[in-house]
Every structure is written in structure tokens, then in C-alpha cells.
Amino acid sequence: MSDKCILWFRKDFRLDDNPALLEASKHTEIIPIFIFDRNLEEYNSIGEASYWWLENSLISLNKDLNNKLSILEGNSLEIIINLIKEEKAKYIYWNRCYEPDRIDADTLIKKEIRKLNVITKSFNSSLLWEPWNIKNKSGNFYKVFTPFFKKGCLESVEPRKPLNKPKNLFFLKPHKRNYNYQFKYQHKKHKWYLKFVKIWNISETAARAKFDNFLNNGARDYSEGRNFPYKNSVSKISAYLHWGQISPFRLWYEAKRKMLGKHLEIFLSELGWREFSYHLLYHYPNINKQNLKRQFDKLDWNVDEQLLSKWKHGKTGFPIVDAGMRELWETGYMHNRLRMITASFLVKNLLIHWKEGEKWFWNCLLDADLANNSASWQWVAGTGSDAAPFFRIFNPITQAQKFDKDALYIRKYIPEIAKLPNKLIFTPWLADRKDLEDANITLGIDYPHPIIDYPESRKRALDAFKKISN
């Protein structure tokens, strides 16, 4: 009898702590595959930054698999059934994904494969707790983060321990080469994301090294330092975690081994927010398409493509907002404090629907994640579950003065105003002619005038909110 098994990689591009791989290692021959399936929303509408990361992830994974990874494109069910028949495989394993359409697709695939008398098993490799297992005392799902994490998660079953990479693995490629995927971005020039190559090393090894560096350095100041974008106090591990170059179980236990006190507590809670986002996605499958608080459907959102474009490209005239948007464009990453500031500015000061910001982040973020992206935007907009109230509006001036008091972050991403003194750099429109001349700045040419009057924009947002609150 054939002892071939198919190992289907999805968002688990690693050999360490990979339960599907561990199960596959019990067989003498493993056929590793990846399928780019445009029937799935994530691949059909994949952002450009994510596309770049995905393709480079596949290249790296293929090397780790001794160049035996079959990278395929097409309908997952059709490809898998054909592969089973051609290779006479009797087993197929994969690690679960939790997006609504993936759950539906996986359910159908399992049903059809079992008709072929093939053993199929799926495993959890990307969430510390399965979203359907976390329930409150009434047996319902949680809608507020703190009880979800402290009661639902921390008082439930402890996350499993990480699994080591299995030994003596033998991979092989299928005999037929059908459905081969054609790489899209590897050979094109003059794309803005090509600069990522100088910033990001996309590999399982790099993920472990980056997190180890964080634990040995940034973690010492994490509880406070994580709020300051110019400090190296955050892990920047989010893209690796999303695509599976490192597992949350490894992060959880390595953090518990090396971090202490409040630093550890807050870091684990950040992993908890990721779990909460997937918890919400599982119970609110349309979280990326509609307001969870439906009264916001009545809010009079502003439709202004010109303002939206200036926000996207860091030309609002508010330095901290522009610095955040330029960091996103140049690096595919944005510090979390800046994600909140820039999102609040779009939704509340420009009064533009959060969905417009969610779409831009989806295209530009290397860590773009359906659950996290949607839940976070709804949190800032005040439209989601356990969200910040709509009347909590991040002031871009005071936020900059508090979290970038020496303007190190602003000067890095907006060099054209770098010569302004600290007392003026947060509000360049208040500088007099001599200060601007000394800094070699002409407002409206070298750096834009503010696109809004901040106090007026705040009042307009609060008035719009009052109309739907009555």
C-alpha cells in the first residue's frame, strides 16, 4: 500500500511547531504543496505588499523543503483530488485557517476527499485557542476583550507547548506538473515594494532571529517603550506571525521564558488581541464588510477622493500623521501607535468611512490580516465590538508631542521639515516667515498646509455622531 501523504501549506510557512508536518513525518513520502486559489477572498483581493511577502515566503519555504514544494494555482478541491488520484496518496494533512470562506471551503474539501477513502486531518497551528472553544458562563461568545482574555483564555486550557521540527523528512514532487503557479512580482522593476528587499528577510530563520533580538533588547522596555515609534521596543514580528514563519505558541512560551512582570503581561495581552480579532471574525463573518454597531450605517460619512488621497500619501500637513503614512508606504509596516493616530484622523477628522482606510492598509501592509485589520479599524472608528467610543479622537498634535517629543520619528520620514525646531515641527503652519526661511521651507510647496482645521473637524465629527445617537 502507498504510504504517500500530501502536506498542504497555507499560512504556516515553517518547519518548527508545525503539527501537520509532524503528522506527515510519520509517512515515508511527503508531497508538500501550496495552492494559490482565487476562489478565496484573501488571494482574489490580495494586497500588493502581501503578494510580495507571500511569493518570497514560498521561495524561502521551497529551499527549506529541498526544492520539493509544488506551488500550484487553481481550484483547491480540483487540484487536491487530481493529485490524490495521480499519486495514489491515501492521506492529506493541513493546518487550519479561520477566515469564513476558508472554513466553508475546507469543510467541502474534507467531505469530498473522504468519499475517495482518503484520510484527512487538520490541525491548529496559528491560534492559541480555537475561537469556538472560548465561551462565557452563559455559553455565548465574548464581545469585550478583557473578560475574553482574562476569563475565557487565561482561565481555560493552557496553550499547547511548541513542537520541534521532525527529523528524517523525505519530500518529493508529483510526477505530473499541472496547475503550476506563475510568479507575479519577482521580475518586475520600478515597483514601490522592491525597497522591501533591503528591509525584510523573509524566512523562518529570520523570524526566529528577529524575535530573539526583541527578547534580548526591546522587551526590557516593552510596557512603556512600545508607545514610542522612534524606539526599538516592539518586535515587528506581525508579518511573520500572519504568514506563519513563526508560531504564536513559540512566541507565547519564549516570552514567558524571557520576559518579566508588566512587560510580559502586556506582550501576552497583545497576542490576546490577535486571538480576540479571530474570535470576532468567527462569530461576525462580515466584520470586514459592515459596521458591528449598525447605527453607524446612518452616519453621514464624507466622500472626498482628494482628501483620501492626501491621507494615503502622507500629505495632510499634520506631521505625525504624514510620518505614519510614509512609514507604511516605504516599509510595508506601521508602528501601532501610528496606526491608531492615522486611522482616527481619517475616520474622525476627515470623517471618511473606516472601510476606505482598511482597504489601503490591506494593500500596503505586509502583515495585512483579515481579522486584525477589520477589528482594529472598527475599534478605532467606534463601530466595533468593545471599540473605543467615537468621541475619543486622537489629537495628532498632542499625540506627537507626547510620543515623539524630540521629533525623531517625524524627522526620519519627513526630512523636508527636519530643520524646524521642536517647538514648531509639530505645527509647522504656526511658524513665522523667518522660522520657515531658516528651515528652508515654503509651506504649500515643500510641505503642505493642513488639509483641515483640527478644532472644526473635531466638532464636525462629534455633531455627526450626535445625530445618530439620538
Reduced to 3 states, what is the DSSP secondary structure of residue 180? strand
CA atoms within 13 A on the CB side of 116: 20
Catalytic residue among 8, 311, 354, 360: 354
Catalytic residue among 336, 363, 416, 429: 336
Q: Does the annotation count 132 as an active-site position?
A: no
Q: How many angstroms separate the CA atoms of 348 and 452, rounded?
A: 12
Closest of 154, 165, 103, 99 to residue 128, by C-alpha: 154
Q: Does the annotation count 311 as an active-site position?
A: no
Q: Chain centroid to CA 41: how far? A: 15
Catalytic residue among 254, 273, 330, 416: 273
Catalytic residue among 130, 270, 330, 416: 270
Which cell goes with 145? 476583550
Q: Does the annotation count 329 as an active-site position?
A: no
Q: Does the annotation count 358 as an active-site position?
A: no
Query: From residue 353, how far is each of 124, 302, 359, 441, 461 by CA, in Å?
Result: 34, 7, 11, 33, 12
In terms of Cβ atoms closer than 10 Å to its own Cβ (0-12, 13-18, 19+), residue 443 is middle
Q: Does the annotation count 362 as an active-site position?
A: no
Q: How many angstroms separate the CA atoms of 199 and 52, rounded?
A: 13
**Partners of 209 in the beta sheet?**
none
Catalytic residue among 243, 311, 329, 377: 377
Instruction: Please name the residues in contact with 101: beta carbons below 8 A apart, sequence gap of 6 or more.
Output: 39, 40, 41
In terms of Cβ atoms closer than 10 Å to its own Cβ (0-12, 13-18, 19+), residue 375 is buried
Q: How many angstroms separate the CA atoms of 22 and 165, rounded?
A: 7
**Partners of 33 in the beta sheet?**
8, 70
**Partners of 9 in the beta sheet?**
34
Catalytic residue among 75, 301, 363, 416: 301
Which cell goes with 162? 511548541
Which cell goes with 382? 467606534
Q: How many angstroms separate the CA atoms of 250 and 290, rounded?
A: 34
Which amino acid, residue 97? C
Contact 250, 276 (CB under 8 A): no
Q: Does the annotation count 52 as an active-site position?
A: no
H or E, element range at 258: helix 248-258
**Positive or negative CA dihedral for 42, 59, 180, 71?**
negative
Q: Which residues are catalytic?
A: 270, 273, 301, 336, 354, 377
